[in-house]
Amino acid sequence: MIIESEQDRIDMILALGMGYRARTAAGEVDVIFENGYVAMDAPSGFRQTDTTPSLTVTSRQAADLGLDMRGTPVTVIDPCGVRTDYAVRDPQPDGTGMSRIELEKLQ
């Protein structure tokens, strides 16, 4: 049995995150950020879309930064240093040590 460590998860985020970071009042971490429009066509003809911005972090990082609580303010910093402010809309731990955090853009 292979056991994945917290450092393994962080290394994966570093490899796939393309330089995005997230900052809360509690700190800053590298993240995988998704802000694109995704359209998925099922064989049945059903079309599902997802335009929700989200980030992926380890579940430990989510807890440490407060990303596991709805309403937490979070600033996403892109690789060029551009900052965009969001609030946590729906934290989604996957039970394997990773969490997808759905965000809501602040005006």
Assign residue 31 a region (left: φ > 0; alpha: ψ between -120 and 50; beta: otherwise): beta
CA distance 41 to 54: 21
| 47 vs 25: which has the higher pLDDT | 25
Q: What is the CATH number of domain 6-105?
A: 2.40.10
**Interval 34-92: pLDDT, tens:** 986 667 776 777 776 777 999 999 999 999 999 999 999 999 999 999 999 999 999 99
Alpha carbon dihedral 26, 103, 82, 64, in 10-degree steps, equals 20
Evaluate whether 20 touches 32 at the Cβ level (below 8 Å). Answer: yes
Predicted local distance difference test score (pLDDT) of residue 38 = 67
What local confidence, expressed as pLDDT, does residue 51 receive? 79
pTM of the model: 0.86
Burial of 11 (0-12, 13-18, 19+ CB in 10 A): exposed
pLDDT tens digits, one per residue of 3-22: 899 999 999 999 999 999 99
pLDDT of residue 47: 72
Q: Would you say residue 28 has pLDDT above 80? A: yes
At residue 1, the pLDDT reads: 61
The structure tokens listed for 87 are 């609030």
Closest CA to 27 of 71, 70, 77: 77
Cα–Cα distance measured from residue 95 to residue 30, given in angstroms and rounded to the nearest whole number: 20
